[in-house]
């Protein structure tokens, strides 16, 4: 895969982190998140053939590719090659139709750096909030403070998109599902390196 095909602002979708992820993170958390999204899709009547358990924003800084993402200790900008492998990981990279302008790319990096300075933790409460919403239609998203301070991956990815293109990416960022950022009508595929597997269903 040609890393140089990637541009600042591209979205990186994957089903897990093989390079550094623990068995718990890759085999359990990834499956749990996909299960929430399967249940969410069924609730909303959304057709699906693939679901990413993780999403992040790619960006170039001083000639080095970085990934801006929500991880265990908050939203972080990390050197891509130290955490992911374009040859072995299963992933999809997508871009805004027409791409971002140079000014928008600069703002993407600036806003990500701001978000990193404000974020202190991963929003693990979404592991409670999604089942409550799916099973009982109880919405507790947003009740525990600003998404800038504690966020999950879909959420932070959506926040960057809404900041750059607020007229296109509108909605409730507190309740952000996979389908609030995976929108093929708004995005073009840059690199498709997904495992061709049937999405499985797991129990909570």
Pairing of strands 74-79, 64-71: antiparallel
Could you identify the residue written with the tokens 């609730």? 43
Q: Which helix (H) or strand (E) holds 68?
A: strand 64-71
Give yes or no for a contact between 132 and 103, defined as CB atoms under 8 angstroms apart: no
Task: Say what the pLDDT of residue 180 is.
Answer: 92
3-193 is classed in which CATH architecture? Alpha-Beta Complex (3.90)
Using a pLDDT cut of 90, give the percent of the chain over it.
51
Range from 66-80, 100-114, 159-173, 184-198 that averages highest in pLDDT: 100-114
Least confident of 39-43, 90-94, 113-117, 138-142: 138-142
1-26 tens-digit pLDDT: 688 899 999 999 998 655 455 454 55
């Amino acid at each position: 895969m040609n890393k140089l095909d990637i541009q600042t602002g591209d979205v990186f979708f994957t089903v897990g982190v093989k390079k550094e992820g623990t068995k718990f993170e890759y085999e359990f958390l990834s499956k749990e998140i996909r299960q929430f999204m399967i249940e969410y899709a069924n609730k909303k009547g959304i057709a699906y053939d693939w679901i990413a358990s993780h999403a992040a924003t790619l960006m170039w800084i001083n000639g080095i590719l970085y990934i801006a993402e929500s991880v265990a200790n908050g939203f972080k900008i990390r050197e891509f090659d130290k955490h992911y492998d374009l040859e072995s990981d299963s992933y999809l990279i997508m871009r805004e139709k027409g791409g971002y302008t140079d000014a928008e790319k600069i703002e993407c990096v600036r806003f990500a750096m701001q978000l990193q300075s404000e974020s202190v933790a991963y929003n693990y409460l979404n592991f409670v909030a999604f089942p409550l919403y799916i099973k009982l239609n109880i919405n507790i998203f947003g009740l525990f403070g600003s998404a800038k301070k504690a966020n999950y991956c879909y959420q932070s990815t959506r926040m960057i998109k809404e900041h750059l293109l607020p007229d296109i990416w509108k909605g409730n960022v507190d309740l952000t599902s996979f389908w609030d950022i995976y929108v093929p009508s708004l995005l073009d595929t840059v690199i498709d390196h997904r495992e061709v597997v049937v999405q499985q269903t797991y129990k909570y």
